Structure 1
Amino acid sequence: MTEIINSIQKIAVEIKDAIKTKDTGKVESLNSSGDIQVKLDVISDEIVERHLLKTSSVIEIISEEKEDAMPANPNGKYFVAYDPLDGSSLIDVDLSVGSIFGIYKGGYSGENIVAAVYIVYGPRVEMVVARDTVELFRLNEETNEFEFVKELRLEEKGKILGPGGTQKYWYPYHKEMIDNFFKDGYRLRYSGGMVPDLHQILLKGGGLFAYPGTEDKPKGKLRKLFEVFPFAYVYNKAGGLAVDGKNDLLDLDIDGYHDTTPCFFGSNYEIKKVLKTYEGAEK
């Protein structure tokens, strides 16, 4: 595991440099999830692939940018699913973006995830590593080394709300729930980048990030292996909860590498509100 995290640190430094210097334009292609790729998606994917394929403890990798998995070391024991550059559409307006890594043992599923790592490329480059605990590291750009900052824990209740999905297609009960959070004084904090938005809730101590199923996308938009399971693992280990509206996200099965799900991440208070809302909607 240490070897994989060391590889991810090297990956983060290279992607950080690419963000600063490479072309931010689009390419004439879609990724496996149907999203328009920017050039930095492709560059970042190549950086991650190059490092992980030579990491001896990795048996296989799967990228959000590719249709199928790639074999790595046949003697490895970890499967790595990753989103090389989450939120890449925000780069041309200079907002924070990130990379997400889910580390699995025994195959790709929520129950098999054993660690998660994500990187935030913002004014400062930060890395969060979730194993038994959730730890924050910050890149020292003079040495290109990540330095430990602190352990992260969510409070029982927060005040930040990140409501994703196109509001036009929200189900009425979901809209009512979000409106009620705002009536209770929650502050809107949503950039459209999953990594910076969830990072903010985590560092500020709590709140709710919601990306529901909608009328046009009943299964949601966010992908289980690359985005949902890793952040569910992070939030669970930080003392919060992560659900699809009814079930723990890490209890879900997958139907293909690029399977999606509605997802809610947050402190205990907010997630209990979500569960109550969605339980009532079923009646």
Structure 2
Amino acid sequence: MTEIYEAIKRSAARIKEAIAFDDTGYSENINSTGDTQLKLDIKSDLIIEEEFAKVACIKEIVSEEKEGKTPLHGDGIYSIGYDPLDGSSLIDVNLSVGSIFGIYEGGFAGKNLKAAVYVVYGPRVELVIAHENVTLYRLNQKGEFVLIKEIKLGAKGKLNAPGATQMGWEPRHKALIDAIFADGYRLRYSGGMVPDLHQILLKGGGLFSYPATSDVPKGKLRMIFEVFPFAFVYEKAGGAAIDGKMRLLDLTPSHPHDTTPCFFGSQTEIERVKQCYAK
């Protein structure tokens, strides 16, 4: 596992440089989910694949930017699903973006996730590893990731990050969000999954939601690349992650780009979601 972490760290340092200095415009390519790829999406994906190709224990990878799996090493034991540059549409307005990695053994299902890693490219580059616990690292001036602290969620938070287009929300979801705000929670939503979930983790707790909507009834966020890794992080940090009723890590995708509604948060907020969606 250490070799995989080191490959991610090397990738992060290279992607940081690309974000700072490369062309931030769109390419002519369309990815598997119908989004026009930024040139940085494509470069970030290539960087990560190059670094993972050096790690013999990685059997195969699957990227948010590609349709199917890419085999690497026949004797490898780990499969990695990753989003090379999550929230990349925020780059042109200079907001934080990130990379997300799920490390699986035995196939791409929530129950097979062994570790999760994500990187935040903001004013500082930070990396979070979830394995037995959740630890925060920060890139220093020497290009090294230095351990900062262990991350633990509080039982109840103060932040609310409600995603998806509100006009597509179910009435019960709107009632839930309105009630949470009425209880004094503060809105913190950038439109980037990585920075918003990172903020909730570091500020002690709250709720991030991306529900089913009238136009996207299965949700927008992808299980393998985005949802499962953050569900793993939140559970290891003392929180919880559900699809409204069911634990996210109990789900199995039907194809590499399968999506699901998702809710991540402290125990108190997730219990409120369960009560709402049980009605």
What TM-score do you get using the length of structure 1 for normalisation? 0.98
Counterpart code for 2:264: F
SS in 2 for 1:276: helix
SS in 2 for 1:150: strand
Residue of structure 2 equivalent to 1:28: 28
1:113-161 Cα distance to aligned partner (Å, 9 max, x none): 0000000000000000000000000000x21110000000000000100
Counterpart code for 1:49: E
Counterpart code for 1:73: H
Counterpart code for 1:201: I
Residue of structure 2 equivalent to 1:173: 172
Residue of structure 2 equivalent to 1:10: 10
Q: Distance in 1 between matches of 2:243 and 2:30?
A: 27
Q: Distance in 2 between matches of 1:272 and 1:34?
A: 35
* 2:82 equivalent to 1:96: no
**Alpha-carbon distance, 1:208 to partner:** 0.2
Q: Distance in 2 between matches of 1:158 and 1:30?
A: 38
SS in 1 for 2:179: helix
Residue of structure 1 equivalent to 2:145: 146
Q: Distance in 1 between matches of 2:61 and 2:193?
A: 21
**Alpha-carbon distance, 1:29 to partner:** 2.1
Counterpart code for 2:211: P
* 2:196 equivalent to 1:236: no
Residue of structure 2 equivalent to 1:214: 213
Counterpart code for 2:277: Y
Residue of structure 1 equivalent to 2:248: 249
**Alpha-carbon distance, 1:73 to partner:** 1.1
Residue of structure 2 equivalent to 1:184: 183
Residue of structure 2 equivalent to 1:87: 87
Give the conservation status (yes or no) of the 8 Å contact 2:45–2:65: yes
Q: Distance in 2 between matches of 1:147 and 1:3?
A: 17
Q: Distance in 1 between matches of 2:10 and 2:55?
A: 12
Give the conservation status (yes or no) of the 8 Å contact 2:108–2:252: no
* C-alpha RMSD over aligned residues: 0.5
1:63-88 Cα distance to aligned partner (Å, 9 max, x none): 00000100111111100000000000
Residue of structure 2 equivalent to 1:200: 199
Q: Distance in 2 between matches of 1:18 and 1:32?
A: 23
Q: Distance in 2 between matches of 1:253 and 1:7?
A: 27
Q: Distance in 1 between matches of 2:53 and 2:214?
A: 39
Q: Distance in 1 between matches of 2:26 and 2:15?
A: 17
Show structure 1 runs of 4+ deviating over 6 A.
none
Q: Distance in 2 between matches of 1:267 and 1:35?
A: 32
Counterpart code for 2:241: A
Counterpart code for 2:204: G
**Alpha-carbon distance, 1:27 to partner:** 1.1
SS in 1 for 2:257: coil
Give the conservation status (yes or no) of the 8 Å contact 1:241–1:271: yes
* 2:38 equivalent to 1:38: yes
* Percentage identity across paired residues of the two chains: 61
Counterpart code for 1:53: A
Residue of structure 2 equivalent to 1:268: 267
Counterpart code for 1:130: A
Residue of structure 1 equivalent to 2:61: 61
SS in 2 for 1:119: strand
SS in 2 for 1:256: coil
Give the conservation status (yes or no) of the 8 Å contact 1:54–1:72: no
SS in 1 for 2:278: helix
What TM-score do you get using the length of structure 2 for normalisation? 0.99
Residue of structure 1 equivalent to 2:136: 136
Residue of structure 2 equivalent to 1:114: 114
Aligned length: 279
**Alpha-carbon distance, 1:46 to partner:** 0.5
